[in-house]
Structure 1
Amino acid sequence: MSTTTFRSHLLAGAFGAIALTAIPSGLVSGITAAHAETALPIIVSALQAKQLIAAGAKIVDVRSAQAYAKGHIPGAVNLPWQKLNVSESDGIRNEFASDATFEKEFGAAGLSYGDTILIYDTTALPGRAYVAFEYAGLGDKTHVLDGGVAAWSEALSTDPVVTSATDFKLDRKKDIRVDKSYVAGKIGASDAIIIDGRNEDAYADGHIPGAQALPAASLLNKNATLQSEPVLTALLESKGVKPDQEVVSYCGSGVAAANNYLALKNLGYKNVVLYDASWDEWSRDPRSGQQVSLANYTFEGTPNAGTDGSPQFLDEKQVKALAGDPKVVVVDVRSPSDFAAGHIPGAVNVYWDSTFDRDRVLLPAEQLRKIYADAGVTPDKRVVLFTRGGLQLSHSYTVLNVLGYKKVDFFTGKFEGWENGAFKRT
């Protein structure tokens, strides 16, 4: 089933497939908010928002108090989303505030279970506010203004809105958050997909293994409205995101992840969860593992290589000329199995990954020195590093420099042309 078909089934309700905009405006006032929202998606147009308001929906401006004071939709109360978040806790940003805070803030805003609610910010995706409302058990009746306050074409008000407080109790919570161990269990699962809402450069720098890059900013048009459904459907399909999968949404600190969460829920995706602690938590745990989406690289053609104390980038002929020199050692940093399958004659193997402990922390210097010394790699020798990946090569070079090795060069060429037409096998 396509995303479009999937969503159309979900939107069928009391009005069937008839959009609310088709209802004569004179009849709107006679429709309850509960009925009015039946045929609507979560993210609504300005016209649909007006119809919801006319039917009794409560309006909540989730921007800052300063922005609210400069102009807000008439009748809107101000509940900045930051009040429902803790900006930082133990190095993790944008966590939910306490339940007591939720009760206080929702009560002060005059909200109750059963209310139909329209929230707005500056874009179509005020995700942090939406997930907070969902956590509080208000998500099923909460709508979002597409495009934010700028989409409101009528006059804004600067008059403060006073509302009667309610005794709001958080007794219908719906926690859509999952923890790190839950996410780890979804890596490689056929019925789940992990999406990363950060920008491409942050994703490339490191991400949860197997996660697909879905920058939350790519879901919006230039005017901060949501991209059309066909565009979003095509984008999701290109990332392998399917409506029948569980979707785990994360980002750097939970903001973009919440935006993606909201967009997917609006499209009709039912099985979406939020890894709220996101990369802030995942990246600092050396046991969690990460994937780097940078293309492999070499150092060939680097200007001034070897002329200023930097490593020389040797070719096959130069490495061969060093064969038999007792003051030179070729260090193959590939895995032991790759080394055993074949290697440069005379090379020794120091697997780059063996320099970490089981928690992915670099071993103490003395242990590192012993690893290299046991392989015959000592600081008095010229070291030629060989591997097939720039990342592994860079790591090994850094470790040797930390240990005080002064002469380290690189060979990143081919195996072809070695004596006997092949490289040595053990």
Structure 2
Amino acid sequence: MIALFGSAEGGCSCRGGGDDAWGGQAWLEDVLGGSMGLAAGAAEADASAASGEDNVAEDEMRIASYEASSDIDEDPRSWSISSEELRTRLSREPKPIVAYVSNLPPQGSYIAGSIKLPSKSLINGDGSLRSPEDMATVLGRAGMTEEDELVIYGDCFSCGDMTFVFWIMKHLGHRDVAVLRGLEQEWSAAGLSLSGATSTMAEAVYTPDPRPDLLADYESVAAGVYQVVDARTPDQFKAGFIPGAVNIDYHRVVEGSWLKGDSALAGIFADLDEDKPVAVYTKNGGAASIVWYALKLQGHDARLYTWNDWRSHQG
């Protein structure tokens, strides 16, 4: 498999994650086997049958469930929360799990009670993405189940750790997950307690329900199924790109510690067809996940892809 997590691409000066090298097609074939999405939909199909649709063939039910799986995103506006919203959620039971996902300690403090879940813990030593089962083991050891409310935060938004782990959680089928906006000053101003260390939780069992629909594959990209967005820097784009790709440098969608506003993002994505799915890539999933996240907020059907996977098919 092609490496998933390598050195930062584009000279990201952030602390922690940055860009990485990811082979999506190999993962899809070797780990997901092209069928796990359909198998995972069986439970929803059974629920549908219980509502009076017993006359629908099992295969049709599974296909319908798989096609509907893309609708679990509902409103992407729920994909992020403010510090004030997090404080409110932490005041009730059950509390959300708050996970710090940057790969280095913060420049200041952690949010009190949060656990450590560095993005690199979800990849193998050779940089390839771990299988859903292995990632589930990591999440379970961290004390998480697939039913938990999860809030992701980090020390560097533009490094891509937060959006990349968010994408992984969505890809694993985790429904209740959000990214915390802002940095330490805002956490403190909102009344969140801070700490010099993270916490630990009792181990749990995490059961993934993988969603291959969030991952683009070489055959579909080569066949022109997607609009292709190259999220690397202009210099990297000029050195070689997927034919027909549009260059939207991931730096363009970032402002401060978060994404630019709706009107600015709408302008950046103005030339894209809202009715055609988008495959966004960099060398890896880190920086591309930032643009993927922004595209989803703007209503696009977007998936991740990788430049390394494309190059591997060019001989």
**Same fold per TM (> 0.5)?**
yes
Report the equivalent of 1:133: 169
Report the equivalent of 2:289: 258
CA deviation after TM superposition for structure 1 residue 50, in Å: 2.5
* Separation of aligned partners in 2, 1:58 and 1:38: 21
Report the equivalent of 2:243: 209
CA deviation after TM superposition for structure 1 residue 166, in Å: 0.7
Change over 3 Å in CA distance of 1:148–1:214 after alignment to 2: farther
Report the equivalent of 1:246: 277
Q: Is 1:117 paired with 2:150?
A: yes
Report the equivalent of 1:146: 181
Superposition TM-score, scaled by structure 2 size: 0.67
Structure 2 SS opposite 1:96: coil
* Separation of aligned partners in 1, 2:269 and 2:168: 24
Whether contact under 8 Å (1:61, 1:68) holds in the other structure is: no
CA deviation after TM superposition for structure 1 residue 284, in Å: 4.3
Question: Residue deviations 1:380-400, cap 9 Å, x none?
Answer: xxxxxxxxxxxxxxxxxxxxx
Q: Which amino acid aligns with 1:235?
A: I
Change over 3 Å in CA distance of 1:242–1:153 after alignment to 2: farther
CA deviation after TM superposition for structure 1 residue 71, in Å: 2.3
Q: Which amino acid aligns with 1:110?
A: G
Report the equivalent of 2:194: 156
Q: Is 1:282 paired with 2:313?
A: no
Structure number with larger C-alpha Rg: 1
* Separation of aligned partners in 2, 1:44 and 1:242: 28
Whether contact under 8 Å (1:127, 1:260) holds in the other structure is: no
* Separation of aligned partners in 2, 1:133 and 1:61: 14
> What aligned pairs does 1:181-192 form with structure 2 within 5 A after superposition?
181-186=219-224, 192=226
Q: Is 1:73 paired with 2:111?
A: yes
* Separation of aligned partners in 2, 1:39 and 1:210: 28
Q: Is 1:49 paired with 2:86?
A: yes
Whether contact under 8 Å (1:215, 1:256) holds in the other structure is: no
Whether contact under 8 Å (1:194, 1:211) holds in the other structure is: yes
Q: Is 1:236 paired with 2:260?
A: no
CA deviation after TM superposition for structure 1 residue 82, in Å: 0.7
Q: Is 1:59 paired with 2:87?
A: no
* Separation of aligned partners in 1, 2:200 and 2:107: 13
Report the equivalent of 2:302: 272
Question: Residue deviations 1:34-67, cap 9 Å, x none?
Answer: xxx9895312222233333334222111122x40
* Separation of aligned partners in 2, 1:39 and 1:52: 19
Structure 2 SS opposite 1:86: coil
CA deviation after TM superposition for structure 1 residue 77, in Å: 0.5
Structure 2 SS opposite 1:249: strand
> What aligned pairs does 1:313-392 form with structure 2 within 5 A after superposition?
none
CA deviation after TM superposition for structure 1 residue 152, in Å: 2.2
Structure with greater proportional helix content: 2
The answer for unaligned runs of 5 or more in structure 2 is: 1-73
Structure 2 SS opposite 1:110: coil
Change over 3 Å in CA distance of 1:233–1:182 after alignment to 2: same
CA deviation after TM superposition for structure 1 residue 214, in Å: 1.1
RMSD: 2.5
Q: Which runs of 4+ in 1 moved over 6 A?
A: none
The answer for unaligned runs of 5 or more in structure 1 is: 1-36, 89-93, 288-426
* Separation of aligned partners in 2, 1:256 and 1:286: 23
User: Paired residues, what number?
Assistant: 233
Q: Which amino acid aligns with 2:285?
A: G
Higher relative contact order (CA 8 A, sep 6+): 2
Whether contact under 8 Å (1:68, 1:78) holds in the other structure is: no
Change over 3 Å in CA distance of 1:160–1:45 after alignment to 2: closer
Structure 2 SS opposite 1:153: helix
Superposition TM-score, scaled by structure 1 size: 0.50
